[in-house]
Amino acid sequence: MTPPPAHQIAVLSQGRAAVFEEPIGPAGVRVRDRPSTDPDPGAVAIAVRAASINHLDLFLAHGAQRVTPPRVIAADGAGVVQASGDPSWKPGDEVVVYPVVCDWECEWCRSGQNVRCARFGVIGEHSDGTACELLHVDARNVFRKPKGLSWEETAAFPLTFLTAWRMLTTRARLQPGEKVLVVGASAGVAVAAIKIASHLGARVFATSRSEAKRKRALEIGAEAVFDSSEFSKPVREATDGGVDVVFEHVGPATLGESMRSVVLGGRVVLCGSTSGVKAEITMPRLDDGQCGRVSGGARCHRRRPATGGRQRLSACRRPGGPGAARFGGAVRQSRAVGLGQMRRVR
């Protein structure tokens, strides 16, 4: 990552922390002690109550993210302010972390599009992460914890839900009444997509290899579910010719079926690639207009105008926004473990 400019506040993980040290899988993540310091001006020191592990952390542990160790893992976290170098926050405030790094001062950041910042990155990948006892982070990355969520739910919310929000609203421009297919419904970002698409008034369909996950998808808002193998034909039959939008995060294993599931001129939006990094695309499907747009590069999204402050924003545009509590019922963790057990997570 490009070295931060003078006005960019570094993310510091302190106290006991889960540190990626070797690219050998979870066994290469070890608990280490780091010195604790007071926060710099403009930074907030947060006593972390919960941090969440995503596929990103597993990729990193296996060396797939080109991150040079050592690196404290985990993008998402929530906790209590211990000390503050910014007047916006005081000790005792319960907060959640917006899981990105950016310079906050470039043209894009000042216009509220920090996802387009040249220095944009993800906490836990491009900086140290939240799997620690004490986290120092820019005060502009901090939001109040939603009252309706537990610490674990709050920590599992931002990265997946903000990414799904951007994919469906900014990339796909999903409209009420449209049909959307969420591929691989067992993943956290897919669960977020189902809830958000339902909230936006879309008809939601989903795929999963797991019967239990398909049942869960129905419980949280999917209208119908399908097995993940060769799903395009049953999807087209069930949707009178196909869906308007496919939410795709699996990658090469399902991309072909996803492109065959859309109506003429439909949209496929992408994030992640859990099944690999290279995929074959049938060009005629793009040339003849069957798949009107394939859009990637979705990043967790939040808007903050140049005027700053803790303004009110709707739905999922901010980690502590009203949408957090509304969608909280869908935030379900696989399990909760102590810091010393993170290497056992698979």
Q: Which residues contact 81 (CB under 8 A, 6 or more apart)?
A: 44, 45, 46, 47, 89, 90, 91, 92, 93, 94, 95, 142
pLDDT of residue 2: 46
Which of 157, 179, 197 terminates a domain? The answer is 157
On whether both 187 and 145 belong to a single domain, the answer is no
On whether both 71 and 123 belong to a single domain, the answer is yes
- The answer to whether the CB of 196 falls within 8 A of the CB of 162 is no
340 lies in a domain? Answer: no
328 lies in a domain? Answer: no
Q: Which residues contact 341 (CB under 8 A, 6 or more apart)?
A: none
The DSSP 8-state label assigned to residue 339 in this structure reads G
On whether both 183 and 152 belong to a single domain, the answer is no
Residue-averaged pLDDT of the chain: 82
On whether both 100 and 209 belong to a single domain, the answer is no
DSSP-derived 3-state class of residue 266: strand
- Domain of residue 119 covers 12-157
On whether both 142 and 279 belong to a single domain, the answer is no
On whether both 139 and 26 belong to a single domain, the answer is yes
300 lies in a domain? Answer: no
pLDDT of residue 60: 87
pLDDT of residue 290: 53
337 lies in a domain? Answer: no
**pTM, to two decimals:** 0.80
153 lies in a domain? Answer: yes
325 lies in a domain? Answer: no
Choice between 312 and 78, residue whose per-residue pLDDT is larger: 78
On whether both 204 and 218 belong to a single domain, the answer is yes
CATH code assigned at 207: 3.90.180.10
Q: Is the bond leading into 69 cis (omega within 30 degrees of zero)? A: no
Query: What's the number of domains the chain is made of?
Result: 2
On whether both 101 and 209 belong to a single domain, the answer is no
Average confidence (pLDDT) over 17-39: 93
On whether both 239 and 184 belong to a single domain, the answer is yes
Helix or strand run (H / E) with residue 253: helix 252-259
On whether both 126 and 248 belong to a single domain, the answer is no
pLDDT band at 19 (very low <50, low <70, confident <90, very high): very high
On whether both 232 and 259 belong to a single domain, the answer is yes
Which of 110, 142, 157 terminates a domain? The answer is 157
On whether both 168 and 279 belong to a single domain, the answer is yes
pLDDT band at 252 (very low <50, low <70, confident <90, very high): confident
